[in-house]
Structure 1
Amino acid sequence: MSKACKSCPSASAGGGCSSGHDPKSCGDKPVDEKIAQTLSRIKHKIVVLSGKGGVGKSTVSANIAMALALAGKKVGLLDVDIHGPSIPRLLSLGDAKPHIEPDHMEPVPYSQNLWVMSLGFLIPDKETAVIWRGPMKLGLIKQFVRDVTWGDLDYLVTDCPPGTGDEPLAALQTLGQEAHAVIVTTPQGVAVDDVRRSVTFCNQMGNPILGIVENMSGFVCPNCNTTHDIFNSGGGEKLAAEMGVRFLGRIPMDPEVVRSGDEGFALLKVQSESPTALAFKKIVEPILALG
């Protein structure tokens, strides 16, 4: 088995390829060189992960990308959630279509500093189910890096689906060990238990962890400004201390976050001084410090 095959999700325990690919034609050198060329023009790769679904990971990804763009950085936002791509909806890009040529495709522009790519732009309608196995997911994620004309970027923010399966594995393998992870959890124990596996996953892959974000951390009453810990509080911070990684901060539960997602506008762009927006800005500070 070749070195490339050993890291491929299609590799079987017996040393063969479960996808039936010919190793001589799989992962050929020109394709790998094109990926390397694309990545060489991107200064920093940020991968947003969570071992648990429903923690607001896509919302965190979109607002991190928006905060970086508002800070004057050139940013790409890559949605590799194959079965539930949320980024187009969150940014009101649901009807957008990328310009596609035979040898490349252009990301969808959101603003002067932010470009987006998602499978959600390519499926024919909202009702279409994507029923793919691992090798097809790996191929698409590689294509989104290799064939999308990202150009020169300061940051590429990648939004992964929950868990430690095909998509997060393919994303980290494609982006390489230079990619930094931001891990999202909610405070309650059932989420923290699953998110702990994401920390272990990144350690096993050899990718540095920027830190843990605790989302939905307390509800601030708009009438009396009293904080109510609906899902408890502090679970993410305790996990960060336990696993020896940085705690990036808490994001409160905010009805405006829900409304912004449903209506497709970026919270940071319209409520830049709200407690939630300020929490996002604090979380982004270590990312901006990467240079």
Structure 2
Amino acid sequence: MSENACGNCAQRGACDSTPEACGVSKGPKRSIGRIVAIGSGKGGVGKSSVSALMAVALARKGLKVGILDADITGPSIPKLMGISSMPMGSPLGIIPPKSPTLGISVMSINLLLEDATKPVIWRGPIIANTIKQFYEEVLWGDLDALLIDLPPGTSDAPLTVMQSIPLDGMVVVTSPQELANMVVEKAMHMATMMNTEILGLVENMAYAICPHCGQRWDVFGPSSLDQLASKWSVERVATLPMDTSISKLGDMGRIEEYHNLELLDPIIQAFIGPQET
């Protein structure tokens, strides 16, 4: 196995595997305009919510969008998008279901479970193969954008995505706490090691607005996004507030009805480019 093929694999030079066996060989981009991962390394910062809202914002601009839910052990995209129907099989591959309002294509392990509350207790290789199948064997069709919702951590799932899917880059989601940024930087280091471009930073749950007086509350302390962006020479593209309507709509599977999407315009402009409405 060539050193170039192995890239920055931690086992480079110490194994007898082929690039294909390791999952290092990236699949074709197919007829998809942009493929962007949304990750953090840290759990609980709202990666899935940001992924869903980005998809909604793009679809509202007339783009064809899909979401690949790579969080195999903690999937939440189908719930947010209000999708419960199973994918359909065809001779050519798997046909993903679409969201009820905007027609966003979604593939997630939860769509294959009879009971969405049942856990998926799988070891790393099975998780990795499942993610590859979600990309390679699903008929995504002609998409303008495919968003990949990554799970927390820097292990099998994000590694598989970065090694086997031809990403255009990664959007990093964080929150104001120093603890969150410490873990987020692990994911940023991983992206750099895997030659995945960090497209920009999104600070989620950065503040709350009092519904009575309009005062801003920095619930989790002052923002540290500028320092993180400066340290990594990465663009800071959005600061999102805590918004109870997001959680309410998500719980009802109606995230497509969220209307304060101008908050996401900087993300859309930075990663997809200006589009005509």
How does the TM-score come out when normalised to structure 1? 0.85
How far did residue 249 of structure 1 move? 1.3
The match for 1:174 is 164
In terms of mean alpha carbon deviation, does 129-138 or 59-68 score higher?
129-138
> Gapped runs of 5+ residues in structure 1?
18-22
Please say if 1:188 is aligned against 2:172: no
Distance 1:134 1:10, change over 3 A: farther
Instruction: Give 1:289 deviation, angstroms.
Output: 1.1
Residue 111 of structure 2 is aligned to residue 121 of structure 1: yes
Classify 1:234/1:120 alpha carbon distance in 2 versus 1 (closer, same or farther; 3 Å): same
Residue segments in structure 2 that go unaligned for 5+ positions in a row: none
Contact kept? 1:213, 1:248, Cα under 8 Å: yes
Partner-residue secondary structure (3-state), 2:33? strand
Pick closer, same or farther for the CA change 1:149–1:237 going to 2, 3 Å.
Answer: same
Matched, 1:43 2:27: no
1:232 equivalenced with 2:224 (yes/no) = no
Per the alignment, in what secondary structure is the counterpart of residue 187 of structure 2? helix
Pair 1:270-2:257 in alignment: yes
Q: Are residue 15 (structure 1) and residue 15 (structure 2) matched? A: yes
Q: Does 1:54 align with 2:44?
A: yes
2:80 to 90, 95, 107: 90
2:107, 2:158 → 1: CA distance?
16
Displacement after TM superposition at 1:14 (Å): 4.4
Deviation at 1:102, TM superposition (A): 5.4
Aligned match of 1:100: 89
Between 112-121 and 70-79, report the one with greater CA deviation. 112-121
Distance 1:24 1:58 in 2: 30
1:66 positional shift? 0.9
Q: Which residue of 2 aligns with 1:214?
A: 203
- Give the C-alpha shift of residue 234 in structure 1: 1.6
Amino acid at match of 1:165: S
Identical aligned residues as a percent:
36
Distance 1:175 1:79 in 2: 13
Shift of 1:195: 0.5
The 3-state SS of whatever aligns with 1:45 is strand
Task: Using the TM superposition, give the Cα deviation of residue 198 of structure 1 relative to its aligned residue in structure 2, in angstroms.
Answer: 1.6
**Contact 1:182/1:211 (CA < 8 Å) preserved in 2?**
yes
Task: Find the counterpart in structure 2 of residue 20 from structure 1.
Answer: none
On the 8 A contact 1:107/1:148 being kept in 2, the answer is yes
Match of 1:249 in 2: 238
User: What is the Cα deviation at residue 98 of structure 1?
Assistant: 0.6
Counterpart in 1 of 2:250? 261
Instruction: Pick from 122, 142, 166 the counterpart of residue 152 of structure 1.
Output: 142
CA contact (8 A) 2:47 2:149 kept: yes
Evaluate the alpha carbon distance shift between residue 229 and residue 112 of structure 1 in structure 2; reply closer, same or farther with a 3 A threshold.
closer
* Whole-Å separation in 1 of the counterparts to 2:251 and 2:10: 37
What RMSD, in angstroms, separates the aligned Cα atoms of the two structures? 2.6
Aligned residues: 273
Choose between structure 1 and 2 for higher RCO, CA contacts under 8 A separated by at least 6 residues.
2
Counterpart-to-counterpart distance in 2, 1:7 and 1:103:
32
SS in structure 1 of the partner of residue 51 of structure 2: helix
